[in-house]
Amino acid sequence: MSRLKMGIIGAGGIAQQRHIPAYLSMPDKVELVAVHDVNQEQALETVETFGIPFVFDHYENLLAEVDAVTICTPNKFHADLAIKALENGVHVLCEKPMAITAAECAAMIDASRKANKLLSVAYHYRFMEAAAVAKEASWDIGEPLVTRVQALRRRKVPGWGVFTNKELQGGGSLIDYGCHLLDLALWLLGSPVPVEVSGSSYNRLSRSPDQVNDWGTFDYETFEVDDHVSAFIKFESGGSMLFECSWAANIKEDTKTLSISGTDGGLSVYPFELYRQHHGKMMTSTAGVDDSEENAGIAQAHNFINSCLGEASLRVKPEEAMQVTETIEAIYRSDESGTSVSLRSDS
């Protein structure tokens, strides 16, 4: 079988650090053909570093030469680029989040269906070994009741790129980092339907002068996105989620937590533990699992490429990724309105 011809749109850090190395690890199935970036110098440096044959000034020219494309641009451009690629008969792996709005996500899904081409989103946390084990173990906990998610960084505002630009990104810590654990939690829960969301967002810390930051420098005077978000989400099933994420918060240390309490047991993903009543005792089971993001990126690439070749099924389906964006959008709307947001279809 011939190799899949892959193009990269957006040659920044995520392309160079995750996607390109992952594709290079499977040379028997994928051929990296070309790169496009609005920053021509960065595109040229990328192809030279990784030995990729071509740079295209215009993404339309790249689409004519590939079977699939990986979109690594600022969030604002995800939908337009994905739709254009799909309309040109090209499979799409889009970096997270899928898009800034649910309406954009719906248009992407419609384009995918019309073109009969695959569309997936790079929620690579699903490909960590701990996540896979938790997905299997979720059958042991019965009906999920309460889910707790914390994706907290003490002082890690990205001091590079356009992460603090609201127009280009649509938000800050929630849409950049919190979305990963929100996606993972919804996936482990079996994609329950959110019906009500109450959220609050903050950026007081990052808009204050003289802040210590571990990830470079940024201009506090122009900081316009969230650095700390909390939310309460109710599901149609009756379950609920307590959610919190941050780039900057006055906490002791970075924290990554995802736990689910169900009717028959409970589980934690970080570290993986399973809690059940057995033999008249409360028992805790553990498992040694790999939480490497590098390995998860490689597994994600294999799943997408193999799916394009008809040898696998997508682990991240676009309808699921759209649900994440719908929830994020609702959290922001709730914060802006100062009240909870109903997502019921009959409301």
- How far apart are the two ends of the chain, measured CA to CA in Å? 51
Parse the chain into domains and list their residue ranges.
4-124+296-313, 126-292+325-342
| Residue 12 one-letter amino acid | G
d(CA 230, CA 212): 22
Return the CATH class of domain 126-292+325-342.
alpha beta
Is-contact 122 99, C-beta < 8 A? Answer: no
Neighbours of 305 (CB within 10 A): 23
Kindly list the averaged pLDDT for each block of 10 residues, start to end, along the chain of length 347. 91 97 97 97 96 96 98 98 98 98 98 98 96 94 97 97 96 98 98 97 96 95 97 97 98 97 96 92 90 93 98 98 98 98 74
Neighbours of 220 (CB within 10 A): 17
| Residue 107 one-letter amino acid | A
In this prediction, residue 180 carries a pLDDT of: 98
In this prediction, residue 288 carries a pLDDT of: 85
Pairing of strands 265-268, 144-152: unpaired
- As a three-state string, the secondary structure of the chain is CCCEEEEEECCCHHHHHHHHHHHHCCCCCEEEEEEECCCHHHHHHHHHHHCCCEECCCHHHHHCCCCEEEECCCHHHHHHHHHHHHHCCCEEEEECCCCCCHHHHHHHHHHHHHHCCCEEEECHHHHCHHHHHHHHHHHHHCCEEEEEEEEECCECCCCCCCCCCHHHHCCCHHHHHHHHHHHHHHHHCCCCCEEEEEEEEECCCCCCCCCCCCCCCCCCCCCCCCCEEEEEEEECCCCEEEEEEECECCCCCCEEEEEEEECCEEEECCCCEEEEEECCEEEEEECCCCCCHHHHHHHHHHHHHHHHCCCCCCCCCHHHHHHHHHHHHHHHHHHHHCCCEECCCCC
In this prediction, residue 147 carries a pLDDT of: 98
d(CA 74, CA 2): 32
d(CA 224, CA 172): 8
Of residues 14, 342, 68, the one with CA closest to residue 176: 14
Q: Is the peptide bond before 271 cis (omega within 30 degrees of 0)?
A: yes
Return the CATH class of domain 4-124+296-313.
alpha beta
Axis-axis angle for helices 179-188, 318-337 (nearest 10): 120
Is-contact 70 16, C-beta < 8 A? Answer: no
Pairing of strands 194-202, 341-342: antiparallel
In this prediction, residue 345 carries a pLDDT of: 64
Of residues 128, 113, 145, the one with CA closest to residue 315: 128
The residues near 291 (Cβ < 8 Å, ≥ 6 apart) are 128, 129, 130, 270
pTM of the model: 0.96
